[in-house]
A = this chain, B = another copy of it.
Amino acid sequence: MSEGITVLTGGVGGAKLVLGLMQVAAPDDISAIVNTGDDFRHLGLAISPDIDTLLYTLSGKANAAQGWGREGESWSFMDALKSLGGEDWFLLGDGDMALHVLRTHLLARGETLSAVTGRFAAAWGLGLSVLPMSDDPVGTHVITDSGELAFQSYFVEQRCAPAVRAIRFDGAEQAKPAPGVIEAIASPSARAIVIAPSNPWLSVDPILAVPGVREALAAASAPVVAVSPIVGGKAVKGPTAKLMNELGLQINNRTIAAHYAGIIDGLIVDGRDGGEGIDIPHELTDTLMVSLDDRARVARAALALADRIAAGR
């Protein structure tokens, strides 16, 4: 039986599903392709928020209550930085700094982001393959009523307040998929390709914007299944609902299915929403991932749907 599982993911929500997949499949069968459109340079440091969230979540270091950063983090660096008049709108925890400083150093020495990410995942014994979508810089920019903003300015500094009119992925056209990305999607031994319930417009679209990724998904021999970020007629995370409204989109699973049309073969939807109007294979489950059991349940549902689709081919 085919065992390879490839998951496309952003930060927090996606990391929950990847953690669920780690409970129900062997970690070394899993490849996570991670959004790097949020990556940016801050104080000269190379910061990869979604990769870091995944590394922290999978290694049990994440601050789950806060939704970002490390559990038990200390803040001496920020305090000292403020005392020196440094920019303080982006919070960098003391332990968190290790990822940024070491990554920046290794990139400056000529290592690729994939190599650095693989090194970190291995150092923390994670087992799975953590693959940045690209080793080339791709920057998510948000065109808002207050002008164009780089992602972190919009998301962190402005707390998603400006109304979004459009989104673009700077550098995507020139970017190449990182080593292993296309291979993980196109692998003839793949069992399933899962799109995590990350924000489709801000976290998954950057991955799809890397040339070759969309085509590989459309041509994949393994079923491609998305887990919808809609739960009970709302987006789980506030900014997703706000963004969908601003883009004039209805907040329901038809919108999600339409967004991924041509790519996905199936959709996992929340039981509260039902499958009405969804004309592709789908399964209902409770998709709200609070506990580790929740994460495993959603992962199992996604794999079961993929297996059902594969069996019907």
Q: Using Cβ atoms and an 8 Å threshold, which residues of chain B touch A120?
A: 84
Question: Known interface pairs A44-B105, A102-B84. Does A95 touch B77 (Cβ–Cβ under 8 Å)?
Answer: yes
Measured between alpha carbons, how far is A120 from B85 in the docked complex, in Å? 8
A96 within 8 A of partner (CB): yes
Indicate which residue in B79, B94, B119 contacts A77 across the interface (CB closer than 8 Å): B94
A282 → B minimal CB distance (Å): 41
Label chain A's interface by main secondary structure: helix
Flag if B85 contacts A98 (CB, 8 Å).
Answer: no
* Size class of the A contact interface (CB-based, 8 Å): 20 to 34
| Chain B, Cβ-Cβ closest to A122 | B85
Flag if B84 contacts A123 (CB, 8 Å).
Answer: yes
A97 within 8 A of partner (CB): yes
A174 within 8 A of partner (CB): no
Measured between alpha carbons, how far is A111 from B96 in the docked complex, in Å? 27
Indicate which residue in B43, B70, B83, B95 contacts A105 across the interface (CB closer than 8 Å): B43
A224 → B minimal CB distance (Å): 33
Measured between alpha carbons, how far is A45 from B102 in the docked complex, in Å? 10
Measured between alpha carbons, how far is A78 from B98 in the docked complex, in Å? 7
Flag if A99 contacts B123 (CB, 8 Å).
Answer: no
Question: Known interface pairs A45-B101, A74-B74, A101-B43. Does A80 touch B96 (Cβ–Cβ under 8 Å)?
Answer: yes
Measured between alpha carbons, how far is A79 from B70 in the docked complex, in Å? 13
A279 within 8 A of partner (CB): no
Q: Using Cβ atoms and an 8 Å threshold, which residues of chain B touch A98?
A: 77-81, 83-84, 86
Measured between alpha carbons, how far is A184 from B255 in the docked complex, in Å? 70
Considering only residues 58-116 of chain A, those with a C-beta below 8 Å from chain B are 70, 73-74, 76-81, 83-86, 93-99, 101-102, 104-105, 108
| Chain B, Cβ-Cβ closest to A120 | B84
Flag if B85 contacts A97 (CB, 8 Å).
Answer: no
| Chain B, Cβ-Cβ closest to A73 | B76
Considering only residues 168-207 of chain A, those with a C-beta below 8 Å from chain B are none
A99 → B minimal CB distance (Å): 7
Indicate which residue in B79, B81, B85, B123 contacts A101 across the interface (CB closer than 8 Å): B81
Question: Known interface pairs A74-B74, A85-B119, A123-B85. Does A80 touch B97 (Cβ–Cβ under 8 Å)?
Answer: yes
- A-side residues, CB < 8 A to B, are 43-45, 70, 73-74, 76-81, 83-86, 93-99, 101-102, 104-105, 108, 119-120, 123-124
Name 10 extra pairs, CB < 8 A, besides A84-B119, A84-B120: A43-B102, A44-B108, A74-B94, A76-B93, A80-B94, A81-B102, A84-B124, A85-B123, A86-B98, A94-B97
